[in-house]
Structures are given as C-alpha cells and as structure tokens.
Amino acid sequence: MTGATVVLAINLIVVSLLSASFATIWLYDRKQTIARWMVGVYGLGAAYFLLEFAVARLGEPPLLLLLCFATLLGALTLFDVGVARKYAVPVPKRLLTAVFALSMIACWFVSDLPRSAFSRTMVYQMPFFMLQAIGAGVLWRARSRGRLDTALMGLLVLSALHFLSKPFLQPLLGGGTAQTYLHSNYAMISQAMGTVFSVASALLFLVILARDVIGDVRILSETDALSRLLNRGGFEDRAKALLRKADAGGRPMALVICDLDHFKDINDTFGHASGDRVIRAFAGFLRDTASAGHVAGRIGGEEFAILLPGANLVTARLFAEATRTAFCGLPVEGLPSHLRFTASFGVAERMPRETLSDLLSRADKALYEAKRGGRDCVRLASTPAGTRSSARSP
C-alpha cells in the first residue's frame, strides 16, 4: 500500500467520524442547524474519497470522473450554504448554482485531455478554489464575528489557495494518470493537505458550535422562564460587570427597583395563572421600554430591577415615572379589559465605588417608602451622606 493510499484511507475514516460527530451534535441540539449541514458536507466527503479509490482501480471512465468531481463540488457547495445560514448571511444561491453548473460543463469538456495537462487540472481545481473563497466571503459579511470565526475565515482563504496551487504542483510531483496517481508524491501531498484543511475547518466548527451551545446553556441558566428577563443571579452577574466598567470609565449609573402592587390579591382573586399573565405583561413592557444598554431582571416573585448605565438620578426617575404611567394604562390579555394594574418604584443613583449590594439596599428602601406612601408612585433613595430627595407622581 502506497503512502498516498494510506492518506486517502485516513481521509475516508476522518471525514466519516466528523460526519458522525456533527450528527451527534445536531441530535443533541436541533437549534444548531449548521451541524445538520456539516453532516451532509462530510458525508459527501466520505463518498468522494470512496470514488477516488474507484478511479484509481478502474482507470478514468468519464462518468465516474464526473461523479467524483460533482461529489466534492457538492460538498463544498453545501459547506458554503451551511456557513451562510449559520452566520445569518443571505445564501448566494445564484453564484453557487452558476459555479456548480459551469464547472460540471467545463469538467466534461476537458475530460478527454491527459490528466497531467495543466488546463485540465486548472479547470478541475478552480471551482474548489472559488467555493472556498465564497465561504470566506460569507464570513467576511457576517455582522457578528469573533476570533474563532475570523480564524475560520482565514483557514478558508488558505484552503482556497491550496486548491489553486495544485495545477502548479502536479507537473513537478507527477501523478499524470489514474494508475500512477496513488503512487505519486503529488497524490500524497495533495491528500495530506486536504486532510489538514478539512480536519482543521471541522475542528474549528466543532469548537464554534461548542461555544454556541455553552452560550445557550449560560443564557438559559441566567434567564427567568416566566418573564424571559434575567433571573437574580444573571442580573447580579451582568450588573457587577457593568459596575466594573463604570468604575474604570467614571460613568454615572442608576438603579430602578419596581414591585407589582397588590400582587397577592391578584392571585387570590383571579388565580395564579392570571398573576403569571400580569408578570409576563410587565416583563414584556420592560423589555420593550429598556434600551440596549439597560439590564433588566426579575429578582423576586413580583419584584424587578433595571440598571441604567450612564443615567443619573433625574434620568432614572423620568424612566421610572414613564414606566409607571404607561403600565397603569396597559390592559393584560386574559383578564377583564377594565382592570388596570400598578407598580411602585424605588430609584437610586450609584455613589462612587458603591457595591451592587449597597445600591440594591438603598433602592429597596426607596421602594419600601413608595409602598408605604400609597403605592403606584416613585421614591428616590437617600444618599449615604444622609440627604434625601423624594418625589411622588402626580
């Protein structure tokens, strides 16, 4: 068995294992649709290597050569489609269709040329170069691209260049016929380079998928199932990170704590399912009202907190007043249309280097004052120095 044959066999085993690995991920998490596409990519890759063995044994029947070419072409096309769907980039359907169709026609026309002919090798390898370059272009257009994604883009560029280099390497390394191909240095180098790039891109994809799965698990662990806001742990983690940034940049920050009024009466009168509807309605209102930089969470049964980076006490009070006024006029689906629900608010501006615990404590005291003051109002927290400012809504 020649070195090239060994490498070809290794390629077959590797791509089969990779296809099985992506299938396992897809069965575990059906949201990872890219895994399903990769199953097809590496499944076609395994078929391609089997066809390479057949070509070496049977010579060069034109239809077999064309099928071998179409299999690898299809694998790389599916790869580009999967990458586009993964990164929410429009799939370049027309471009991919044109490359596939024209490449098949060109391959058929050059199939009578000697295998060692430069023009035939160039026609054979150029589509693979183009498809890998298209994949890199898709990644370049991705709106959200981290280090791993950038590394994958660079890897696709190198893979594209590897395909482009083959027409220049074959005359130097031999392998001009199907019978001599697997005994040539060109075949060994070509198959080895193919293994390196296919395995490297697959491993990168697996790492990227692992990153995404871990991110999803973290989001689920930090999210309150009923309100779909952050739970208390998630809120505190995000808030502490923002406090550290505020300390570094010297930015102001304010906290608003709110509590649904007479929530026990809602549960006792209409049932817990109706109480859940009120919580969902208020949480949805907070999601719609809060800006992208705000951090909102459900930190208790009917208690919510919103951290406002860059806001001072006046700005935070305006936010609380606007939220209070709008919510008390909001009907809740599934409850009598004439019913309206209210909430009380406590507002505190963060003092320099104040901890999250102390900030929560001051805002909570202001919330208590709002409850004691008649509910459906906003109260401002006292400062650590002892001065106090308060305002009741009209």
Q: What does the CA dihedral 25, 28, 32, 36 come to, rounded to 10 degrees? A: 60
Domain boundary among 187, 222, 257: 222
**Residue range of the domain that includes 61:** 3-222
Phi, psi of 130, deg, nearest 5 = -65, -40
- Which residues, given as ranges, of the chain have pLDDT below 50? 177-179, 386-394
Structure tokens at 244: 């550290």
pLDDT of residue 118: 83
The answer on 133 and 262 residing in a single domain is no
The answer on 140 and 18 residing in a single domain is yes
The answer on 303 and 217 residing in a single domain is no
The answer on 183 and 301 residing in a single domain is no
Domain boundary among 222, 244, 262: 222
- Domain assignment present for residue 318? The answer is yes
Where are the alpha helices (H) located in 223-338, listed in sequence order? 232-249, 263-270, 272-289, 313-327
Residues 144-179 pLDDT 10s: 888 999 999 999 999 999 888 888 876 665 555 444
**Whose CA is closest to 289, among 363, 212, 344, 229?**
229
What CATH number did the domain enclosing 60 receive?
1.20.1070
**Whose CA is closest to 308, among 316, 297, 298?**
316
What CATH number did the domain enclosing 238 receive?
3.30.70.270
Residues 196-240 pLDDT 10s: 887 888 889 888 888 887 887 787 888 888 988 999 999 999 999
Q: Which residues contact 236 (CB under 8 A, 6 or more apart)?
A: 356
pLDDT of residue 394: 36
- Domain assignment present for residue 227? The answer is no
The answer on 60 and 157 residing in a single domain is yes
pLDDT of residue 260: 93
pLDDT of residue 183: 55
The answer on 346 and 215 residing in a single domain is no
- Domain assignment present for residue 27? The answer is yes
- Domain assignment present for residue 184? The answer is yes
The answer on 207 and 118 residing in a single domain is yes
The answer on 366 and 242 residing in a single domain is yes
The answer on 47 and 193 residing in a single domain is yes
- Domain assignment present for residue 155? The answer is yes
- Domain assignment present for residue 190? The answer is yes
The answer on 237 and 206 residing in a single domain is no
C-alpha dist (Å) from residue 99 to 69, 103, 107, 120: 13, 6, 12, 17
pLDDT of residue 188: 63
- Domain assignment present for residue 385? The answer is no
Q: Which residues are catalytic?
A: 302
- Domain assignment present for residue 82? The answer is yes
- Whole-angstrom distance, CA of residue 343 vs CA of residue 371: 9
The total domain count for the chain is 2
pLDDT of residue 10: 76
Domain boundary among 198, 222, 246: 222
Q: Would you call 375 helix, strand, or coil by DSSP? A: coil
The answer on 281 and 217 residing in a single domain is no
pLDDT of residue 58: 67
The answer on 343 and 309 residing in a single domain is yes
pLDDT of residue 184: 60
